[in-house]
Structure 1
Amino acid sequence: MDYKVHKKHVVFITGAIATGKSRLSVDIATKYSGEIINCDKMQVYKGLDIVTNKITESAMKGMPHHLLGEIQPNVNFTAQDFCYHAVAVIRKVARSGRLPVIVGGSNSFIEALVDDPILSFQSKYECCFLWLDVSLPMLYSYVE
């Protein structure tokens, strides 16, 4: 007998700083009934909002955000820590019938989550990876 396992969907949005990752994550979460999970190494920490260009409350448009400003700055939050916390949130969001949208520029966090043989992430979730890129003149004008 051939049984197909129905995998839950997960969207990953990554790219360089100031490419519009946060804005796109809010748009996708709004359109597809999702919740956003931060995977930026610095934005997980409380404070540092301006330094890390953390999304503002108004820009969140009421969309739930997880792992954003939740960790004390004196804690060394590793890729393994991210995996532990992210998997718990992803399971909760997916079980509620909502779409987990993972957003941020820390590729080491994403790789740790997706490639960890113990987690078997890819066998449990259907992943869509979006890499945002913008022209340098546009990026420079935005960052200024």
Structure 2
Amino acid sequence: ASGNGKAKVVIVMGATATGKSKLAIDLALRFGGEVVNSDKIQVHDGLDVVTNKATARERAGVPHHLIGGVHPDADYTAADFRRDATRAVESVLARGRLPIIAGGSNSYLEALLDGEPGFRRRYECCFLWVDSDTAVLERYVGDRVDCMVEQGLVGEVRGFYRTDADYSRGIRRAIGVPEMDTYFRMEAAGALDGDDGRRAGLLEAAVDEIRANTCRLVCSQLRKIHRLRCLPG
């Protein structure tokens, strides 16, 4: 607890590709903490590569909460997150550990910090904003997408592909899933059989779209972080 008697909670904010997850794990290792995920896609089961979930090795033994556990097709609202994150923080503190909330979904953080006024009254919140130049972030995004492709993004998304997929809900909202629809639709129809050039072209177009949409997400996240900075208290 701090000098005012309030328990401490750390909130790590930042756009995609800024290294929030690694910082949260490093902080947890240094200060005896546990990570509470605030990424609206990573709460779902599946698509570990596409959603960039930290691997067991990367977690380095640090307990993580709200990573997976939600059905891939389920809607998980900001109100659901507020309820579950509050419980997770309480359980971490009950074990004498430091809760470290980290993730890219600022609407979830806003719901927790602004939508539940008692949260900031109960806890001393330490905000860490991981920032970077936009041009640098765009380069990191490109590198990350290339790495995801190398790690098996295409095969992973193929396993989730359905011709009647609803890309407006659940884990299929994740960048990297709807962008592959045309490729898999053509593949399923046999239109790419024996035409390696067309297959490569469609795949390249899908990966370019993933990069572009991720860069747009970064810009949106940065705007929301600036709004969070203006919250009273």
For 2:99 and 2:58, locate their aligned partners in 1 and report how far apart those are by CA, in whole Å: 18
Tell me how far apart the structure 1 counterparts of residues 6 and 65 of structure 2 sit (CA, whole Å).
22
Map Cα deviations across residues 97-122 of structure 1 (whole Å, 9 max, x no partner). Answer: 100000001111111111124x5001
How far residue 12 of structure 1 moved from its aligned partner, in angstroms, is: 0.4
CA displacement at 1:26 relative to structure 2: 0.4
TM-score (norm 1): 0.91
Root mean square deviation of aligned Cα: 1.5
Q: Which residue of 2 aligns with 1:104?
A: 103
**C-alpha offsets along residues 31-83 of structure 1, whole Å, 9 cap, x if unaligned?**
01000000001010001211111111111000000000111111110011001
Q: Which runs of 4+ in 1 moved over 4 A?
A: none
1: CA distance, partners of 2:67 / 2:30: 21
**1:13 aligns to what SS in structure 2?**
strand
TM-score, normalising length from structure 2? 0.57
How many residue pairs were aligned? 140
Query: What SS does the aligned partner of 1:120 have?
Result: helix
| In the alignment, structure 1 residue 131 sits paired with structure 2 residue 129 | yes
Counting helix residues as a fraction of each chain, which structure ranks higher? 2
Aligned-residue offset at 1:137? 4.1
Structure 1: give runs of 5+ residues left out of the alignment.
none
Using CA pairs under 8 Å that are at least 6 residues apart, name the structure with larger relative contact order, 1 or 2: 1
- Structure 2 runs not aligned, ≥5 long: 144-233
Instruction: Name the residue aligned to 1:41.
Output: 40
Q: d(CA) in 2 for partners of 1:116 and 1:136?
A: 29
Q: Which protein is richer in strand relative to its size?
A: 1
In 1: Cα distance, 2:40 partner to 2:57 partner: 22
* Same amino acid, percent of matched pairs: 48
